[in-house]
Amino acid sequence: MTDKKKEHFKKKLIEIQSDILESIIGETMDEENPFDIDGDLADRAEALTAVAISEGLSSKQKETLEKINQALHKMKNGDYGLCIVCGKDIELDRLEAVPYADKCKEHMNNR
């Protein structure tokens, strides 16, 4: 996968993450913003996931944030876009639909 494609998917992941977290921020009435976090992207994603879980996200939102966090770590480690079952590249159209996918189409229904 090209660096340009990786950057494209990184932006998509961060956008999805931000959408989920903005919905939480809108629901909280705290004066302090628990989402104002320093650090690199991986640190921020981990902290945001932990705070979001403690703020009572739905299970689907928690799962999505965790998968986004994992995908961002994989980008940092250089193994983003590889199927965790067979190790082959995940199809680009699958990543377009689900940028945090960790399995190719052939294995996407495997648990």
Band (1; pLDDT cuts 50, 70, 90): confident
For 88, other C-beta atoms within 10 Å of its C-beta total: 12
Q: Which residues contact 5 (CB under 8 A, 6 or more apart)?
A: 92
Q: What is d(CA 94, CA 104) in angstroms, rounded to the nearest whole number?
A: 8
Q: Which residues contact 67 (CB under 8 A, 6 or more apart)?
A: 100, 102
Helix, coil or strand: residue 93: helix
The pTM (predicted TM-score) of the whole model is 0.70
Domain ranges of the chain: 3-80
pLDDT at residue 29 is higher than 60: no
pLDDT digits (tens, 9 = 90+) for 4-25: 999 999 999 999 998 888 776 6
Among residues 19, 9, 6, the alpha carbon closest in space to that of 99 is found at: 9
**What pLDDT is stored for residue 85 in this prediction?**
94
pLDDT digits (tens, 9 = 90+) for 36-79: 555 666 666 666 666 555 555 677 888 899 999 999 999 999 99
Q: Which residues contact 53 (CB under 8 A, 6 or more apart)?
A: 62, 65
**What pLDDT is stored for residue 31 in this prediction?**
43
What would the mean pLDDT of 81-95 be, rounded to a whole number? 96
